[in-house]
Amino acid sequence: MRHRKLRSYVMPALYVIILMLVFGAVSLVSTLMKSNPTYLYAIGLIKDREAIPVVGGDNLPDVVIKPFAIDASIATYFYDKDGTKEEQEKALIYYQNTYMKNTGVLYNAKDAFDIIMSLDGKIINIKEDEILGKYIEVEHNTNLRTVYYSVDDIKVKVGDELKQGEIIAKSGPNKISENKNNLLFEVYYNGTLINPEEFYNMSVEELN
């Protein structure tokens, strides 16, 4: 049986048709993307995901968080030696006929609230102060320590290494406040007490 030979112009014509179809499809996709931003957005998301490196859970968080997740009120502010007279008056603790400068910020609320880690860290001390009640001391790095005073129902032990946001205790009582749900929060940075309300605005990178 003899095979028919294709005419010499048939194959070139097929190549031309295939090329036209490919260019047509590319042109159509390009037109759709320009007319509908959703396509561009979706592609952008895919590229972003590919650019994010896969890392372990040991990376430090980017920002500091408050040591509680509710809207607790400030009962006594941090005493700033450079503050105004009015600000300093709001930062005095009155106990047994004596005024004392507050070395942290005293928060309280109507109901009991969870005390959480403001940053990743290691529990280095759990003790009780005669006036301020039970407290937990946390080391975050060689330059940074935080102390959580007036806590109750402690859920951690010395040596525990915890992540930011993990619950370590409940709010509790002390002898400087009539409120039963308190937290007196202190921050030591480079060996010096700093205002916790300013601490929340600092980046983790800055604190290392």
pLDDT tens for 182-200 read 999 999 999 999 999 999 9
- Which pLDDT tens digit goes with each residue over 146-190? 999 999 999 999 999 999 999 999 999 999 999 999 999 999 999
Taking residues 84-108, report their average pLDDT.
96
Q: Quick check: 80 and 196 in contact, CB under 8 A?
A: no
Question: Which tokens go with 147?
Answer: 């102390």
- Which pLDDT tens digit goes with each residue over 71-84? 999 999 999 999 99
Q: Taking Cα atoms as reference points, which of 183, 105, 191 lies closest to residue 143?
A: 191
- Residue given tokens 């946001």 in the structure block: 165
Taking residues 51-58, report their average pLDDT.
33
Q: For the chain, where are the alpha helices, taking DSSP H only?
A: 10-35, 37-51, 85-89, 196-199, 204-207
Q: Quick check: 153 and 172 in contact, CB under 8 A?
A: yes
- Examine the pLDDT at 15 and tell me if it is beyond 80: no
**Top-level CATH class of 73-207?**
mainly beta
What's the confidence (pLDDT) of residue 30? 52
Which of 43 and 15 is assigned the larger pLDDT?
15
